Structure 1
Amino acid sequence: MNGTTPLRMSHQKEDGTIEKGGCSFRIVKGTHIVYNTYNEKEPWLNLRVKSNLKSDVIKQLSDGTELKLVAEGPTWMYVYVLGQEDYIEKGHVSKKYVRELP
């Protein structure tokens, strides 16, 4: 071993599930990240209800926001926006400002 220990929460099982207070949940890791919006006129990425520019905006996402890819098309992605322990919103984003995490 190289002297490092993987970080795990005290109630976390091997599969990533956490048991606490009679509840069971999993920590979700992002697969993609919002990037390169800072130079734009509006320095954020709009999370939309539908995959078109006329659709209502659910939330404005800043660079560095982690996303979990659910589905993608030629120019749009359907994603979950991640919070500290689970997703907090879901919707559509333009692929132009999203990149895959290594």
Structure 2
Amino acid sequence: MIANVHQMEVLLPWAQAWVQMQWEIAFWVAEHGDRARIQVVWNEERLSAEVDVAEFQATTTPFYKALQQRLADGCQWQFKKQEGSTGHRLVLGLSASQGA
């Protein structure tokens, strides 16, 4: 179970959004350790307009794999079809099962 602590919508172009999200995630994990829970909801429409699949995977995979290794099921990435005016969503939470 995840206690939702912080949610943000990122409306920047993909490259800047990715940098901002990495910093937010890194800070959150550094602050909360194994209790940290991360959910990223990528807006498919925005991604397809701003970056090709190969570049996206090459850029994000190392960071994502490191999060998966550290947090296991506490890191979720989703891809959803949404309007282009909707940003990518980042949800930072804490594991409620460990006394959040």
* Coarse TM-score class (shorter-chain normalised): under 0.3
TM-score (norm 1): 0.21
Q: Which has the higher strand share?
A: 1
TM-score (norm 2): 0.21
Q: Which of 1 and 2 has higher RCO (CA within 8 Å, sep 6+)?
A: 2
Whichever of the two has the greater Rg, that structure is 1
Q: Which has the higher helix share?
A: 2
